[in-house]
Chains A and B, each alone.
Chain A
Amino acid sequence: DVKVTQSSRYLVKRTGEKVFLECVQDMDHENMFWYRQDPGLGLRLIYFSYDVKMKEKGDIPEGYSVSREKKERFSLILESASTNQTSMYLCASSPPLQWKTQYFGPGTRLLVL
């Protein structure tokens, strides 16, 4: 069974803190994605990676960075958390061919105070 896990379901951080969100998939997928989901805005792509150590900016990369040192793990880093980064963060993975569905993790709800 396909599985994508995220390190935390809920996280509370203070403004200015460095925040790490981790995502692990066990399906040997090449592609991994980070989205944020906000009411009325749907899902917006932050970054994605199509291979180890490879990354591409999505639609809203500002204020974020990513790391993919191993195929199964994709980390999202908030260098200096701000209140406007309070959101639900969803990780997903997919096989290498473009015409494939994405498999999502359970999400991390981040609150930045």
Chain B
Amino acid sequence: ELKVEQNPLFLSMQEGKNYTIYCNYSTTSDRLYWYRQDPGKSLESLFVLLSNGAVKQEGRLMASLDTKARLSTLHITAAVHDLSATYFCAVDSLESGTYKYIFGTGTRLKVLA
């Protein structure tokens, strides 16, 4: 069964600090997706990682993928209040002929001024 786990589930950090969110998954997928959700709003795509060693960066966020370890990280550099949101990773794969797209439980990030 495909499982996607994120940690931490909650993260409160000071502005200017660095931190990393981890996403572990149980299947052999080479594709991993990161989304952001602001309170009361829907999800929007941040990154799509399509191969082992892939790294994508946008502003203060950088995502990487290690398919051998089945691990993706979302690194936050010098956090600012605007980054406060819930971050989800998701993995898709074919399991027993069935297409699956599974989200992690999300990491709720709060950046304190």
Contacts and interface: CB of A to CB of B under 8 A. Distances in A.
A29 B4 CA distance: 26
A47 to B, nearest CB: 12
A98 B90 CA distance: 13
Interface residues of A, number: 23
Given A42-B88, A98-B31, A98-B92, A104 B43 contact: yes
A31 to B, nearest CB: 9
B101 A33 contact: yes
A25 B44 CA distance: 15
Nearest to B51: A99
A42 B106 contact: yes
A98 B50 contact: no
Given A98-B31, A99-B50, A42 B105 contact: yes
B45 A101 contact: yes
Given A98-B92, A99-B48, A101-B48, A40 B105 contact: yes
Given A40-B105, A101-B48, 14 more contacts: A33-B101, A41-B105, A42-B106, A45-B100, A48-B101, A56-B99, A98-B31, A99-B31, A99-B48, A101-B45, A102-B33, A102-B101, A104-B44, A107-B41
Interface of A: 33, 35, 40-45, 48, 50, 56, 90, 92, 98-107
A40 B107 CA distance: 10
Interface string B99-111: 1111111100000
Top 4 nearest A-B pairs (CB, nearest first) are A42-B105, A101-B45, A43-B103, A104-B42
Size range of the chain B interface in the assembly: 20 to 34
Contacts of A103: 45
A107 B88 CA distance: 16
Contact of A42 (B41, B44, B94, B103): B103
Q: Which of A41, A44, A50, A100 has most chain B Cβ within 10 Å?
A: A100
B98 interface: yes
Contacts of A102: 33, 43, 45, 90, 101
Contacts of B105: 40-42
